[in-house]
Structure 1
Amino acid sequence: MLHRDTVDTTVLPPAERFGMWLDLVARTSAPMRIRSAHADDFAARADFLDLGPIQVIKYHYPSLDATRTPKLIRQSDPELYVLALTTDGVGTSSQDGRRSEIRAGEFTFYDGSRPHDVGHHATEPEQGQATSVIAMIPHAALPLPPERMATLFGGKMSGREGIGGLLAQFLLQISGHPEQYHAADAARLGAVGLDLVTTMLGRHLVAEDAVPTEVRRRALVTQVQAYVHRHVGDPALSPRVVADAHHISLRSLHRLFEAEETTVASYIRDLRLARCRRDLADPALRTQPVQVIAARWGFPDKAHFSRVFRAAYGTSPQAYRESTCDPARIVNHPASMVTSSPAD
């Protein structure tokens, strides 16, 4: 699984928890001054994932406010951008004279090298917790014009639809289920996340041409793949349907996949077959007819399904199911939301 470092203040008595959190913040590369009405019992947790070019952190904490002052910046300036997704509670972000209120499902973006104020308050201040997922991005890793980024600082962006929705889903999936990925996947996952961040920020700059062409291509591929995952059970799903859903021509869609070592049709077929194979090996589905499983994943024609399954795996669906009767041989890992391969 991906390597995760965790800080959990509840391992200490209530009176010592806020001090532990302050020590954690003081040791970070971009320390801040923290204030909280819950200093007498600060039950908080932070999970850190290093993904090559970016770091992802999942936070749970009581309501707090934080300030990064010029003095703290002079003491330590790692030159990082911060993109924060509020997942519960209400956040505030203020930088360069711009202030925004951030609701659950929204992003805010700011520069750790400039003074700023952020706050995050639980919707039930006395007993609830505020939660967020943030991405720490080195200035040098973000391929956008630095001189134009200031227009985004302290603002908010939606994480509910389009590229923002896909990025939010990506961050939640990675931070919530690191056990579904290999440690060797970290850098690749970080590159996917960086592409999505770049594309979302580029669109909010109202200058998508500022986003490098290859970054735009990879982000669109990720968006297309996520769409296929969501609709793979629809027998009508086809390259034409996918192209129309993304407002591009069929020819453009095929060009998009030229660097992926597969075609769109093959990607859809292989994902459907992988889902069928997974369900055929699932002992909980042992009583379901093969045809029912095939139809659930977009193969309404039993004969066609048998042919393509045999071509892919060298055996018939029924024979494969029978070969997995031994529980020790069953592999049934959940599929990743961002790749076509099962993640474990």
Structure 2
Amino acid sequence: MLPTDTVDTTVLPPGERFGMWLDLVARTSAPLRIQSAHTADFAARADFVDLGAIQLVEYQYPSLEATRTRKLVRRSDPELYVLALTTAGVGTSSQDGRRSEILAGEFTFYDASREHDVCHHSTEPQRTQATSIITLIPHAALPLPRQRMAALYGGRMSGSEGLGTLLAQFLLQVTRHPEQYHAADAGRLGAVGLDLATTMLGRHLVAEDAVPTEVRRRALVAQVQAYIHRHLGDATLSPQVVADAQHISLRTLHRLFEAENATVASYIRDLRLARCRRDLTDPTLRTQPVQVIAARWGFGDKAHFSRVFRAAYGMSPQACRDGDALSARPVNRLASRVNSSPAD
């Protein structure tokens, strides 16, 4: 499991919860002055995920207002950027004279080393919690010109278009399902998240040329892989279909995967095989015919499926289902690699 930590104020009586939250905020690298209309019963939770290059925090709290004052900035300089995704409620973000309303599904960006104001309120009468996912990015880790970043402070960016969609999906998956990954995956996931954030911010700067070439390449690979994962069950999925969906040439797509130690076709095939193996060894799917499972993941030809499954795992699909699930070890290095893909 990924390195995580949780702070939950509901472990204390209602009257002590807001004080616990203030203590938490005071201990962070960028303390804030907090106000709330819910101080009498501040039921809140913070889930931290350490990904090495970046840190993620999912917040759930009643409505609040936060200010990083000039005095607090002088007291500590965390040298961090904050990229915040609102997941429920509505908020405002203000820095350097720019103020934006942030709706659910939108990002805002600011520098924790400078004065700023943020507030976040629930928009549903029956829902007392506003929620967000915060990405903490060290200044030194973001490969974009710092003097250019002020153009984005206090602004809003879509989390439902282009790379914004992919980054939002990544943050939601990692913060809400850290148990699906190994601790050893943290560094790799952190690099993926940083690449996606860097490329999205670079595009909003209208300065994608400022994003290092390798960062852009890795971000595009992550975007392509996410598309493949979403359409894996489509039997017509092919390298050409993937290239067309990403508005790139087939040649460019193949060049992208040269550094991934896999061809596009083998990546699709091995990922499908991994899904089939998972379903074949799932006791709840025991009554489903092998061919139904194969077809679900894009294998329409029974003989072809049996042949490639045996080549990858050293046994037939039926033998995999009948035998010990752990005995179906990949004999194909690429199959092994996609089994642990962070895009799952």
Structure-2 residue corresponding to 1:276 = 276
Taking the aligned partners of 2:297 and 2:127, their CA distance within structure 1 comes to 43
Describe the SS at the equivalent of 2:339. Answer: coil
Match of 1:130 in 2: 130
Tell me if the contact between 2:234 and 2:297 (Cα under 8 Å) persists in the aligned partners: yes
Match for residue 311 of structure 2? 311
Question: 2:27 matched to which residue of 1?
Answer: 27
- Which residue is equivalent to 1:212? 212
> Residues 329 and 12 of structure 1: is their aligned pair in 2 closer, same or farther, counting only changes over 3 Å?
farther
Residue of structure 2 equivalent to 1:341: 339
The residue number in structure 2 matching 1:147 is 147
What amino acid maps onto 1:295 in structure 2? A
Q: Distance in 2 between matches of 1:340 and 1:308?
A: 15
| Whole-Å separation in 2 of the counterparts to 1:117 and 1:160 | 24
C-alpha separation between the residues in 2 aligned to 1:330 and 1:128? 47
- Contact 2:235/2:299 (8 A) holds in 1: yes
Question: Could you state the TM-score of these two structures normalised by the residue count of structure 1?
Answer: 0.94
Shift >6 Å, 4+ stretches? 328-331
**1:292-330 Cα shifts (integer Å, max 9, x gaps):** 111111010111111111111111111221114x8x989
- For residue 341 of structure 1, report the CA deviation from its aligned partner: 2.5
SS of 1:46's equivalent? strand
Structure 2 unmatched runs, 5+: 330-336
Match in the other structure for 2:333: none
Q: Deviations over 1:220-253 (max 9, x none)?
A: 0000110000011111101111011111111110
8 Å Cα contact 1:94/1:116 also seen in 2: yes
Change (3 A) 1:14 1:330: farther
What SS is found at the alignment partner of 1:306? Answer: helix
Map 1:224-235; keep pairs closer than 5 Å. 224-235=224-235
Alignment partner, residue 37 of structure 2:
37
Corresponding residue for 2:294? Answer: 294
TM-score normalised by length of structure 2:
0.94
CA contact (8 A) 1:84 1:107 kept: yes
For structure 1, the residue ranges without an aligned partner over 5 or more in a row are 332-338
Q: State the identity %.
A: 79
Counterpart CA distance in 2 for 1:299 and 1:116 is 53
Within 5 Å, give how 1:1-344 maps onto structure 2: 1-124=1-124, 128-324=128-324, 340-342=338-340
Kindly indicate whether the alpha-carbon contact (under 8 Å) linking 1:106 and 1:156 is maintained by their aligned counterparts in 2.
yes
1:281 touches 1:330 (CA, 8 Å); kept in 2?
no
Distance in 2 between the 1:304 and 1:323 partners? 21
CA distance in 2, matches of 1:103, 1:310: 49
The amino acid across from 1:211 in the alignment is: V
